[in-house]
Structure 1
Amino acid sequence: MRLSLTISLLFFTLFAQATVYKWVDKDGKIHYSDKPIENSEAVEFKSNTQNQIKLQMPKANASASNDDPESLTQYNLSIASPAEEETIRDNEGKITIMARISPDLDTKHVLVLLMDGVVVGTPQTSPIFSLKDIDRGEHSFVIKAVAQNGKQLASTPPRKIYLHRAIISRQGTPTPFGGVN
């Protein structure tokens, strides 16, 4: 009994494929249905008809999005001066960092300087950063181009710089006993 039921169900499924009908209405719109309508014709599908969906892979540079026109600018940003691992000798702790950017920075965008991973100073449009009172030693600098909404548009690779700052603490000069030479 079960075998005959199974065979009959398989037999009906082979012939149970629904026919699809296509027709055009008075406005010229094309419609599809599984029921025949006046002036409709049966649609024949090829045996290899399959739904094929191709997903686009996200771009490697996620900094530019199509919905934000101000982030469409692709900046090429680098530190021009000082050179990598350059030693600067300045007893007042002054360092000048100069960037190279192309194309020119948009008026809505600013440059931010990071020293050792911390933002130094205020954002600015000039590619020249003048720092003073910097402690001696090794420092890493990065410059980022940023939009008004805070979105990072470009960044330089870290630049390692050494500051040599001789600090001399002068103590009183010793005088001989009695103060007479």
Structure 2
Amino acid sequence: MRSTIPLLLVLLFSLNASAEVYTYIDAEGNRVFTDSPPRGNAERIQLAPSNAFTAPHMDKQVPAIQPGQPPAPPAYQLLRILLPEPDSTISDNAGNLLVTVNSEPVLRPSDHYRLLLNGQPVGEPSRSAVFPLENIDRGTHQLAVEIIDARGITVERTPSQPFHMKRTSLDMKRQANPCKKKDWGVRPECPLADKPKEPKDIPLVPFI
């Protein structure tokens, strides 16, 4: 009898969930499972609902994954310093320099140019593309320009580019063209403050 129980269990679980299953004890004392209602004292078994998974219909079109929106193009395609040219030498004894910039397209209504000299802002941001600089020390310096919006955020920036300021000192000018008596107070390199004192006349003392 024990050997028939596993077989009966397999039969039980292989039956369709919608079929009716009956059980009874046969003449030899074995429990029998069947889907045909026998005559006599048979007990109907209530089967649990099936857990079978019904696959979804594949005829529905699954929308393709839409790629992300491309990033917005930059507001400016070009920003550069026109003058001075990179690595140029400027000869100006007063250290004056005129910087001009250009952008494409032109500045938006809320944007401004800001000039950087050696990494530091020079003056106030401006919508003008021309920046006059004065009294720049002799030597090599770095120039850059950036565009900022109404919040002060940098929208675009050029790489730093060098220029060299050459200034002739007053001493160098005097050495090249010494100041004469008539030049003091006339030529810029011959200020009266630098005029050497003239020796005083020594009175003649009669020799006894």
**How high is the TM-score relative to the length of structure 1?**
0.60
Query: Structure 1 stretches (4+) deviating beyond 4 angstroms?
Result: 52-59
Closer, same or farther: CA 176–97 of 1 in aligned 2, 3 Å? same
Equivalent residue, structure 2, for 1:151: 153
Are 1:178 and 2:201 an aligned pair? yes
Equivalent residue, structure 1, for 2:9: none
Instruction: Name which of 1, 19, 22 aligns with 2:54.
Output: 19
**How high is the TM-score relative to the length of structure 2?**
0.53
What is the number of equivalent residue pairs in this alignment? Answer: 131
SS in 2 for 1:178: coil
Task: Write the deviation string for residues 110-144 of structure 1: whole angstroms up to 9, x where unpaired.
Answer: 00000000000000001111011211111101110
Equivalent residue, structure 2, for 1:44: 57
Give the counterpart letter for 2:140 in structure 1.
E
Higher relative contact order (CA 8 A, sep 6+): 1
- Shift in Å, 1:178: 3.1
Identity %: 25
| Contact 1:90 1:164 (8 Å CA) reproduced | yes
Structure 2: 5+ residue stretches without partners: 1-49, 172-189, 204-208
- Shift in Å, 1:165: 1.4
Equivalent residue, structure 2, for 1:116: 118
Larger radius of gyration: 2
Give the counterpart letter for 2:109 in structure 1.
T
Structure 1: 5+ residue stretches without partners: 1-14, 21-42, 66-71
Q: Which has the higher strand share?
A: 1
- Shift in Å, 1:54: 7.4
Give the counterpart letter for 1:19 in structure 2.
T
